[in-house]
Amino acid sequence: MSNKKFKIIITDCDHPSVEIEKKILSEINPELTLETCKTEEDVIAVASDADGIINQYAPITRRVIESLKRCKVIARYGVGVDNIDVEAATEHKIIVANVPDYCVDEVSTHTIALILDCARGITLLDRKIRDKKWDFTLAKPLFRTKGKTLGLFGLGRIAKMVAQKASGFGIKIIAYDPYVSKVNIGVKLVELSQLLTDSDFVSIHVPLTAETKHSFGENELKAMKKTAYLVNTSRGPVINEKDLYIALKEKWIAGAALDVMEKEPPDWKDPLLKLENIIITPHISFYSEESYVELKTKVAESVRSVLKGELPRAMVNPQVIKRKFNKEDR
């Protein structure tokens, strides 16, 4: 490892402190700066000579990546890396590290909580009580969950844990994932058309990519049961919200529960927010006190590893290693 001081920029971070990161990175004695970047210009202004970047929401676009003179690693606080141009990073031999496993328990539990909330009308009835209405019939019709079908769109880490937890409620589980060919956890793989027509709850667990953007629009929503609920704890743009609004208003489906939206925070005039048959939480699925610590620890460890000439614990572009990733290169 070279003796020069590494420069590490945290482009943005809404956590209360970065003490965990500082402690872990102190081993390589870096110059560590916490910034409040919001735009690509902000990132370009502070990160062009950084050796490592830690990032939360600020856009790491191709323009940003092309401005980086010696960056070896961009580590994202999170699982999804849709705010980072991974292709551009790979072309520039920059490792993009993420933390795929810090909140599987939290997101899967939040998903189950949203499913059960829909199934039992909890948020709806709570809103009614605050309106001085003590009347369970306002949530009618509700149906028994035992024996109902949950359709998982995407069968990765989080979906598998949702399946495990949901099976405890006697719910049958089916899944659509074109990249998974076999499963041994009591989940039946089906085509998307069957997932849509057979599910009482459809829960989305795919990354946001060009392929998954607006996977749920008019056709898919019309194909679902009128009594079904759509749950999304992955990324907002996987659903076309304009179509979802019509689907909910015209009762093509019974309801929706979203932890993520196309725009976050949403436009407060968005008519979706006024509907009774929707529950929305503010992109909180990932959060618990324990997951926060794990996330910050693992992000800092990844950056430390790469700057020490090692591989990070998780990366989304392993092609970088195959392409010319060696010590002389650094």
- Least spacing, CB of residue 274 vs ligand NAD, in Å: 23
**Residue 264 annotated to the active site:** yes
Supply the DSSP symbol for 73. E
**Of 232, 211, 229, whose CA–CA distance to 221 is shortest?**
229
Give the one residue of 20, 180, 183, 223 binding ligand NAD; rule: CB under 6 A: 180
**Of 209, 235, 228, 17, whose CA–CA distance to 107 is shortest?**
235
What is the chain's percent helix, strand, coil content, to nearest 5? 40, 15, 45
**Residue 15 annotated to the active site:** no
Give the one residue of 21, 35, 117, 177 binding ligand NAD; rule: CB under 6 A: 177
**Residue 92 annotated to the active site:** no
Catalytic residue among 21, 235, 241, 304: 235
Give the one residue of 60, 68, 158, 190 binding ligand NAD; rule: CB under 6 A: 158
Select 80 or 309, whichever has its Cβ closest to ligand NAD.
80
- By CB under 6 A, residue 79 contacts ligand NAD: yes
Binding mask 241-260 for ligand NAD (x = CB under 6 A): ------------------xx
- Find the helix or strand (DSSP H, E) in which 229 lies: strand 229-232
Residues 108-147 that bind ligand NAD (CB under 6 A): none
Helix intervals (H) in 210-324: 218-223, 241-249, 289-307, 319-324
The count of residues in the chain is 330
Select 153 or 229, whichever has its Cβ closest to ligand NAD.
153
- Looking at residue 64, its amino acid is V
CB 226 within 8 A of CB 247: no
Number of residues that bind ligand NAD (CB under 6 A): 31
CB 27 within 8 A of CB 304: yes
Number of other CB atoms surrounding residue 231 within 10 Å: 28
Number of other CB atoms surrounding residue 186 within 10 Å: 10
Residue 146 three-state SS: coil
Token pair in block for residue 242: 């304009």
Token pair in block for residue 189: 């793989």
Point out which span in 91-99, 116-124, 157-165, 246-254 binds ligand NAD (CB under 6 A). Answer: 157-165
Give the one residue of 130, 131, 141, 179 binding ligand NAD; rule: CB under 6 A: 179
- By CB under 6 A, residue 212 contacts ligand NAD: yes
Q: What gap in Å lies between CA 304 and CA 28, rounded to an integer? A: 7
Give the one residue of 71, 103, 163, 307 binding ligand NAD; rule: CB under 6 A: 103
Select 79 or 89, whichever has its Cβ closest to ligand NAD.
79
Point out which span in 44-52, 61-69, 201-209, 243-251 binds ligand NAD (CB under 6 A). Answer: 201-209
CB 189 within 8 A of CB 165: no
Select 176 or 292, whichever has its Cβ closest to ligand NAD.
176
Site residues, ligand NAD (CB under 6 A): 79-80, 100, 103, 107, 153-159, 176-180, 205-208, 211-212, 233-235, 259-260, 283, 285-286
Catalytic residue annotation = 235, 264, 283
